[in-house]
Amino acid sequence: MSLLDSVKSVFGLAEEEKELYLRPLKSSDLSAVLTIEKMVYNFPWSDRIFKDCLTLDYSNLALIKRGELIGYSILSIAVGEAHILNVCVHPEHQRQGLAKFFILDLLKVAKKKNAETIFLEVRPSNLAAVSLYEGLGFQQIGHRKDYYPAEGGREDAVVYSLDLNPNVT
């Protein structure tokens, strides 16, 4: 074993050497983020929206696999409430448990920043997201009428919440 390997085995790997890790999202990530955003949504967020998210006091994370950005999340936290505004995983990396891994981390971030409840909106037609959040214990608490743009009109949002106190340690 080389000296470097021994050091790594004692102290652990540096973030950038890990196979898969989360780190804060940076403005230099925006081009990779927008590429994924346009692949996964019919109505993607604009460059301007992501830039605004980076200037606000949000918890924005990048999911990196072998050096490549393959997912991202935008989380706002204020006065005891957290709000998941966006979570995406690159289509080539979906169905591998990565969104679950991501969201479990977001719950911990929210709890650490003293949020008691976490909320999100989702399109009822987004069956993958509905199944993801319901599988993690989120409860439907209401609807927001005509919340999203949709082909030929608007689509309602389903609002979900999760109480962080009993569910996250």
CA pseudo-torsion sign 135, 107, 154, 37: negative
Nearer to ligand COA, 8 or 136 (CB): 136
Cβ 145 to ligand COA shortest distance, Å? 19
Geometric angle at alpha carbon 148, from 147 and 153, rounded to 5°: 105
Which tokens go with 74? Answer: 């935008």
Cβ 103 to ligand COA shortest distance, Å? 8
Can you give the binding site for ligand COA, defined by CB under 6 A? 40, 86-89, 94-100, 122, 126-129, 131-132, 135
Active site residue 121: yes
Rounded Cα–Cα distance for residues 122 and 108 (Å): 21
- Count of Cβ atoms closer than 10 Å to residue 25 Cβ: 23
What are the beta bridge partners of residue 69? 64
Do residues 76 and 56 make contact, with C-beta atoms less than 8 angstroms apart?
yes
Nearer to ligand COA, 7 or 56 (CB): 56
Nearer to ligand COA, 6 or 131 (CB): 131
Active site residue 92: no
Do residues 159 and 145 make contact, with C-beta atoms less than 8 angstroms apart?
no
CA distances from 144 to 3, 9, 120, 160 (A): 58, 51, 11, 11
Catalytic-role residue among 133, 134, 147, 160: 133
Cβ 52 to ligand COA shortest distance, Å? 17
Cβ 92 to ligand COA shortest distance, Å? 10
Catalytic-role residue among 58, 121, 148, 160: 121
Active site residues: 121, 133
